[in-house]
Amino acid sequence: MTPTLRQSTLLCLALSLCALLVVPGNFPGLSGDARLTLAVFALATCAWIGTPIDDTYIALGAGLALTATGVISSDTLFGTLGDATVWLLICAFVLAAAVARSGLAGRAAVFLVSGARSVRQLTHLTTAALVVTAFAVPATSGRAALALPVFLALAKALADRGRLVVMLALLFPTVILLSAVATLIGAGAHLITVSVLWESTGERIGFAQWLLLGLPLAIASSHLAAEAVLWTTTRRADRTGPIRVTPEQIRDHVRDTEGVGGPVTGPWEPAETRCALLLATVVALWCSEPLHQVPPAMVALIGAVVASSPALGTVRLKDALRTVPWSLLLFMAATMAMGVAMADSGAARWLVSGLPVEVSPWLFLAVVILVSTAAHLVLQSRSARSSVLVPLVIAAAAGAGVNPVAAALASTAAAGFCHTLPASAKPVTLFADIPGTPTYTPRDLLRLSAVLAPLTAALVLLFALAVWPLLGVPVVR
């Protein structure tokens, strides 16, 4: 199907649904606000899937339409921009800019990677380093950009072993995407999930609780994926033989790409020490929120002010603010408003009211995970997938007697798999085409996805059924 034909088909489907919703006799029991919400929701989803229009523009248009028709108030629409999760992400990006400017990234890469003496060691040390970056850099695209100089250094050191370079090119985006579930700030989709849960059920997941639930899954799925990448991309001969990556190789590439010229070995610079202490303090305060009751957004704001201060900071505030993805924040705010409309109008409940509810909890969660895993084939934006799926999953979970928190978390975690096509996620796209460096092909991605998709889906289901209940999130209400 050509892009033009697909767009026309999706537009016809959306307009047909809107026409059906306009007729008062259709769909009895559906309120006027719910009809308007479903119409806007259908048009926005079809536009996300079938048009090249920017996702943020579509989301803002949908939020404006819901406000103009009276489904939600203007205070609701604009109030989402002041949501604590939005401020948390802004301040996290300021902190990430300070970390990048200080040179800590290169030093951490040398500490973890230069000690590898075998291919498997290098694979899992790189995986561990990428998991750790989830605490320092918000959003998967930001982590991919930060990790690119390290990959280029490794590619140069292993230039005579081409299959290993291809393996590493595939490993970096794979682990970045799967390890994002470790923290609340790992992806914008997580903040959307938390917001929709709060608006729909009154239950709020804090930074510490998300860390408790997500970090074990991130570690397990990342190292499982590392083995899958290793076995699907390399041969036995590729995996044998010693490996040596020198600190100088990583330093040179970090300096060339990031413009940071500090040392990566030896005594720490004062700026590095201050930045490391600040980052450790912020993460510790995030994790200990139940003890001191200071909201994560407030902790992040304090950290951002210190990180950009003239005396103690490592980056100027105006430079750090340039790294904030304002388009993503506007998208999040608009989709939060759409989630409020779906919940308050009753549209989400109506959409799932016809689904069979007499199913076992494990089967319900399995279906949610399966749909969420495959959703990247239709909706490339991770945040858009959560915006569409999470309100429906929460409403369906309530009808099936499943804990909505468990269902929403399972859906969001499963949606982290988006490796099938080069365009499925920004990190995959970034590492798919690097001038002068051999990287993976669409065939490599398909081979990995055939193995990794069922493995990650089964792992999320295992955590939802067996691990998360032990950590305070039962399967049933």
Instruction: Please tell me the distance from the alpha carbon of residue 149 to that of residue 372, in angstroms, as a whole number.
Output: 32
Which range among 163-167, 320-324, 465-469 has the greatest average pLDDT? 465-469
Check residues 317 and 267 and name the one with the higher pLDDT.
317
pLDDT reported for residue 231: 87
Provide φ and ψ at 78, rounded to 5°.
Answer: -75, -25
Instruction: Phi first, then psi: give them for residue 402, nearest 5 degrees.
Output: -95, 145
Q: What are phi and psi of 476, to 5 degrees?
A: -105, 160
Mean pLDDT of the chain: 80
424 exposed, middle or buried (CB, 10 Å; 0-12, 13-18, 19+)? buried
Give the whole-number percent of the chain exceeding pLDDT 70: 82
Which pLDDT belongs to residue 469? 93
DSSP string, 263-280: -SSSSPPHHHHHHHHHHH
pLDDT (tens digit, 9 = 90+) per residue, 304-325?
899 888 877 888 888 888 878 7
- Cβ neighbours of residue 461 closer than 8 Å, sequence gap 6 or more: 362, 365, 366, 369, 410
Encoded tokens for 287:
């994790």
Measured distance CA(332)–CA(477) in Å, rounded: 28
Confidence of residue 299 (pLDDT cuts 50, 70, 90): confident
Q: At what angle do helices 404-414 and 442-462 cross, to 10 degrees?
A: 160
Question: Which are the contacts of 42, defined by CB distance < 8 A and separation ≥ 6?
Answer: 13, 14, 17, 18
What pLDDT does residue 441 have? Answer: 82
Q: Is the pLDDT of residue 24 over 70?
A: no
Find the angle CA(13)-CA(16)-CA(20) to the nearest 5 degrees. Answer: 140
Q: What is the pLDDT of residue 226?
A: 92
Among candidates 200, 86, 187, which has minimal Cα distance to 133? 187
In Å, what is the CA distance from 435 to each residue of 194, 215, 391, 439? 39, 34, 41, 9
C-alpha span between 289 and 296 (Å, rounded)? 7
The answer to whether residues 446 and 382 touch, using CB atoms and an 8 Å cutoff, is no
Domain ranges for the chain, please list them.
1-71, 72-471
pLDDT in tens, 198-245: 878 878 888 888 889 999 999 999 999 999 998 888 887 776 767 766
Here the tokens at position 308 are: 């950009």
Please name the residues in contact with 156: beta carbons below 8 A apart, sequence gap of 6 or more.
249, 253
Convert the pLDDT of each residue in 445-460 to its tens digit. Answer: 888 888 999 999 999 9
Give the per-residue pLDDT at 460.
94
What does the pLDDT average to over 260-274? 69
381-406 mean pLDDT: 83
Q: Which of 325-339, 439-453, 462-476 has the lowest mean pLDDT?
A: 325-339
Which amino acid, residue 402? V
**Taking the complete model, does pTM exceed 0.85, yes or no?**
no
Q: What is the mean pLDDT of residues 93-114?
A: 72
37 and 71 in contact (C-beta within 8 Å)? yes
Q: What is the largest CA-CA distance in the chain?
A: 76
CA distance linking residue 302 with residue 412, whole number of Å: 29
Range 99-113 average pLDDT: 70
